[in-house]
Amino acid sequence: MTVFVTGATGYLGGYACAEILRRSDEDLALLVRARDERAAVERLWKGWQLHMDADRFAEVLGRVHFVFGDLTAPDLGLDAGTWRRVAHGIDSVLHIAASLNRKSAKACFNVNLRGTLSVIRLARDAADHHGLRRFSDVSTAAVAGTRQGEVVTEDETIDWDRSDYDPYARTKKFCEHMVHELLPDVPRTIFRPTTVLGDSRFPETTQFDMVYAFAVLAYAPVVPLDPDWRMDIVPADYVGEAIATLHLGEPAHDAYSLSSGVASPTFGEITRALRRAGHPMRPLFVPRLSRPVDRLVDRLMATPKKLGIARPASLLKVFLPYLTYDTVFDNRRVVEALGHAPRSFTEYCYPLLRFAVSSGFTYPHRPLPDGFVPARPTRPLGAAVKAARPRGPAQEPRCPD
């Protein structure tokens, strides 16, 4: 069987795909922006080398089909023949790609709304042709909107009467709505990760925006937070495991919060964990400064780039609402499904901080080895579904010729 995946070259996409390849014999059809196969392989290696060495990468490429396209282009940038071949050749869809640009409404609307609609259309054509085993959408806990001091369950997450923090949260909330409205007959799973920060197994990471914001706070002598506020941080390895396990299986629910839930550490607990591990700072918590700091951040964002202040200020501006709302997301569903809870951020926060600071907030990507020879796919796209019985009369894909 073949899973159509968007966002495979991204941070969470790498975790989810590596887990699917490890846990199953499924092939992957990956939507990739690249001029040719060599460029696609290089992009994928950059995204996946955190999870495997070059030998393993060469091996798994035998189960990878590249679909050259673009999430924001009409019909995903596919011609009618390719659209038909993909729609007729997949048995499930895992939609991960998204714009996380919380400041740009244009980017979020183009990628998250228009892109998701195109992916849903492809899934609709697959479902009409032979049936679709599952459509999984990686959303975000931010769709819960403005909250304060709550424990939010999956059934209470979407509240259309609440205000949204930013364009990212607003568009992802509507993406969930489109999935439910346009694929009512397809088994659907919505994944809502909270703040994804680092890997609980090793200190290396390739995603640094939130890590940078964390480092700014870790080295600040005064922070505008309450030490008793909780921060729902979940490691990327747990998120990847959950997405792969539930997408491949038969989940009991249609939505899962991928979170630390009520076990989420407080800022005070994170600070004490850093101190125990050897971090020298002991910040002073002054929560009443949160609003003055927000106004100060607005001013710092406008400073010249050469001063090096604008970037951390921009990151703090984006993430401050999520740091101060003291809200966590009930994770009993995913814990029951996986049989274990995520490791606490307090257990791996210091190695992550050390790696990020010592590496200058960059990951030392390795080029493909000289003479690298990838395995070729041994099964044509859709070999396992060509004989599948159509769900009702067979329909041609709606992609225009």
pLDDT score, position 339: 98
pLDDT along the chain (401 residues), means of 10: 95 97 96 93 96 96 96 95 95 92 80 95 97 97 94 96 90 96 97 97 94 89 93 98 98 98 97 96 88 78 76 71 89 98 98 97 95 88 57 42 37
pTM, full prediction: 0.92
Q: Tens digit of pLDDT for each residue in 152-198?
A: 999 999 999 999 988 889 999 999 999 999 999 999 999 999 999 99
Residue 321 has a pLDDT of 75
pLDDT at 383: 65
| CATH number of the 2-358 domain | 3.40.50.720
pLDDT of res. 308: 74
What is the pLDDT, as a whole number, of residue 61? 96
Q: What was the pLDDT predicted at 64?
A: 96
Spell out the SS3 assignment of the chain: CEEEEECCCCHHHHHHHHHHHHHCCCEEEEEECCCCHHHHHHHHHHHHCCCCCHHHHHHHHHHEEEEECCCCCHHHHCCHHHHHHHHCCCCEEEECCCCCCCCCHHHHHHHHHHHHHHHHHHHHHHHHHHCCCEEEEECCHHHHCCCCCCEECHHHCCCCCCCCCCHHHHHHHHHHHHHHHHCCCCCEEEEEECEECCCCCCCCCCCCHHHHHHHHHHCCCEECCCCCCECCEECHHHHHHHHHHHHHCCCCCCEEEECCHHHCCEHHHHHHHHHHHCCCCCCEECHHHHHHHHHHHHHHCCCCHHHCCHHHHHHHHHHHHHHHCCCEECCHHHHHHHCCCCCCHHHHHHHHHHHHHHCCCCCCCCCCCCCCCCCCCCCCCCCCCCCCCCCCCCCCCCCCC
